Structure 1
Amino acid sequence: MTFNLILAIFPGIFLVLFYFLAQESPHYYNSSPKYDLTILALEINKENELIDLERDIKEERAETFSDVWKSKGLIKAFIISIVLMTFQQFSGINAVLFYSQSIFQEAHTTLEPAVCSIIIGCVQFGTSFVTPPLVDRLGRKILLVFSAIGMIISEVHLGVYTYLKDHDKDVSSISFVPIICLMLYIISFNSGFGPLPWTIMGELFPSKVKSIASSLTASFSWFLAFLITKYFKPVSESIGMGSSFFIFSACCVISIPFCILYVVETKGKSFQEIQTALNR
């Protein structure tokens, strides 16, 4: 327990140490008294244009809070964010992370469940570095789609494996399937549906309502996380773990057309271009 608590402290220390080194966005500087720092920020973020930035800020200042919430673009941004967070949670990530040892125990893998959980944790840490270099090369939408496809493949195979085991089929020759499936699942999740819903949410909302809209979206996301974490175990005991993974994979299937048709691609676009796309 003490070792676990020590490990939990490290992310907080990392955040405190590097928080003060983070660069504010030009959009923030231009809407604050630190206007002279805008030029410095623009030198770091070449893609932002000062003229577009000033126009965006003026438009925001001309609107009241109620006017902004009535706009088509903001409503669309809010719906996109909420739906992406829903798909993120119903991909089953928190069920996998919280119950990984139980999953391995019920799957009767050749490795110890604790060892499998450590392997999954290492994969999760290692693949956290995959998305940043890819997201601005490939774009948000394509990473979300490939992320969903990877999760579908892994969860369907894991569902079939647990279904066969629950129906007294001999799966000893393929006992490696659960660990392979969950490794693929973590890689797929971390490359798309893990970080990108949060990234896209931050890019869609104007700064005047970003704090409120983001807070509501995040609260909704963690409420879903609570529900899935609380009820995954009893539901799995009722309908079978295989069926639970089939449900999660079905949610990932539904997410693909949504990402293709409705998610706004923000790669390489200014804030004004994103808002124009949202208001179409």
Structure 2
Amino acid sequence: MTGSNPVAIEAINLMKDYGRGENAVHALRGVNISFEQGRFTAIMGPSGSGKSTLMHTLAGLDSASGGRIIFDGAELTSMNDNQLTLLRRHRVGFIFQSFNLLPMFSAEQNILMPLTLAGEKPDRSWFKVLVETLGLEGRLSHRPNELSGGQQQRVAIARALISKPAVVFADEPTGNLDSVSSAEVLSFLKQSVKELGQTVIMVTHDAVAASYADRAIVFADGRIVADETDPAAERMSELLMEERDCVTRSSAAPTVAQRMSDSLADTKDFPCGQ
């Protein structure tokens, strides 16, 4: 499901296999999907569904076994290691569950670290916008151990955005936060999309987190089985629970998500819903 915005990144018949022969694991099975610029997309799915593999492959952190990825107009799947390194440095932002802030540096130094490592000068007006948007004005001189978990993740978000990346990938960004801090961080991610025009792709297991997104995709067995616009937490929880149950019931009837996916993929390889 897409609208009228330009496409930021697109996967075309994307495949990823681990191992060979009878022991091969098909993590991605011919995935076709595009992500629009200026949109917040959540990717959900049971453990082992392929959602993290999809994100890592789209971000150039893992290689594809087949298919193509078009990233900001360039074909990522044909790039060499040096080209991928430059792309990740200049065009991709990352937000991790564990924050990954450097403890000996201040919040401001952590935010500017991608530019420091690249030998580039920061755009101070952009830095000011990020700091004000994320409510970090009074925390820039603090080190990570002087910040709450929510504040640390806000610093990590600013760090991800400081180089004005084409896409920000967020891997379970609220996994180590309490419910109040989670809501705060998700609100800021949503705000960065709405007010700053950022493109965010977030992997999460949390249906409430997915409800902050403009769009949510459910993954199962390496395929997209549901694609929801303006996802509601209750709806996403229902779809996720059905797919979790699916993996333990080899002879069950088709799930709602699988029935919805008939137009997206052949379901004959799913573990249930035969």
TM-score normalised by length of structure 1: 0.26
Structure (1/2) with the larger strand percentage: 2
Which fold has the larger relative contact order, with Cα–Cα distance below 8 Å and residues 6 or more apart in sequence? 1
Structure showing greater radius of gyration is: 1
Structure (1/2) with the larger helix percentage: 1
